[in-house]
Amino acid sequence: MAMGVERRVCVTGGARGLGAAIVRGFAAQGAHVHVCDILRHEGEALVGELRVEGFRASFHLLDVAQESDWQALAALLETGPGRLDVLVNNAGLIIRKSLAATTLAEWDRAMAVNVTGAFLGMKHCRALLARAAPSAIVNISSTAGLIAHGDPSYTTSKWALRGLTKSAALEFAAEGIRVNSLHPATIATPLTDAAPAGHLAANRHAIPLGREATADEIASIVLFLASEAASFMTGSEVSADGGLTTGGVAHMRSQYQRQFAQGG
């Protein structure tokens, strides 16, 4: 990107939680951030706050699982500078049910949001990213994309996102677009707060550092992956898990077995 050119950044699921922390991080760097979410009230409120603080931000109503929404967003971005420097595929959902308890509709929704959403974003933003090259895509996966969690639809979708990231990295490299996946452990966000009783305690027990990550801690890694400091990284899977995948798996397994034995 040329010196002095304002970076354009798109963050899905950007209205709250980790997404909002990522949005604020890019805004603080001087980027114009496109906050994309199905949560209109929260998204517009965040954009309003950022503008009051002197930052550049816009809200776009976007259901990542709907191709027409992505097409409309890409067309809108084409009418502006016609480029996009960073795409962060952060939108996601968790269905905390065992395989036997998960319905087909729930399974399909997890895949649609967690995998298809990232696929559509990369597909329809590719030309915009290529014009801004060197540019970057960061796909927010999970430790569930590195090991098995007790939520099979979530685990499967995050493994799929990890593979999709690697395939896109190979395909987009010649166009100057880097694609990496980030795999956090539990993050202290509203999504985490909605977890069943005992879930957070089980996760803390499994994480050697003994706590969840803060949204700002994970957002800082997203900013790094999107920066020139990570210019030789593509197709990488970056773990930010407090040591979970290093030594906490056995503890997590026992906690999940107890959870599902109780009908979780």
Question: How far lies 230's CA from each of 131, 139, 224, 227, in Å?
Answer: 19, 15, 6, 6
Cα(235)–Cα(163) distance, rounded to whole angstroms?
A: 9
Q: Would residue 154 show up in a list of annotated catalytic residues for this protein?
A: yes
In the block, which residue shows the tokens 């500078």? Answer: 81
Contact call for residues 158 and 145 (beta carbons, < 8 A)? yes
Q: What are phi and psi of 119, to 5 degrees?
A: -60, -50
Sequence-distant (6+) residues with CB within 8 A of 136 are 85, 86, 87, 177, 178, 179, 180, 225, 226, 227, 230
Q: Where are the beta strands (DSSP E) in the chain?
A: 8-12, 32-37, 56-61, 86-89, 135-140, 177-184, 237-240
CA-wise closest residue to 110 among 73, 149, 69, 147 = 149
Q: Name the catalytic one among 154, 159, 172, 256.
A: 154
Length of the chain: 264
**Before 184, cis peptide (omega within 30)?**
no
Residue 137, CB-side half-sphere exposure with 13 Å CA sphere: 34
Write out the catalytic residue numbers.
Answer: 154
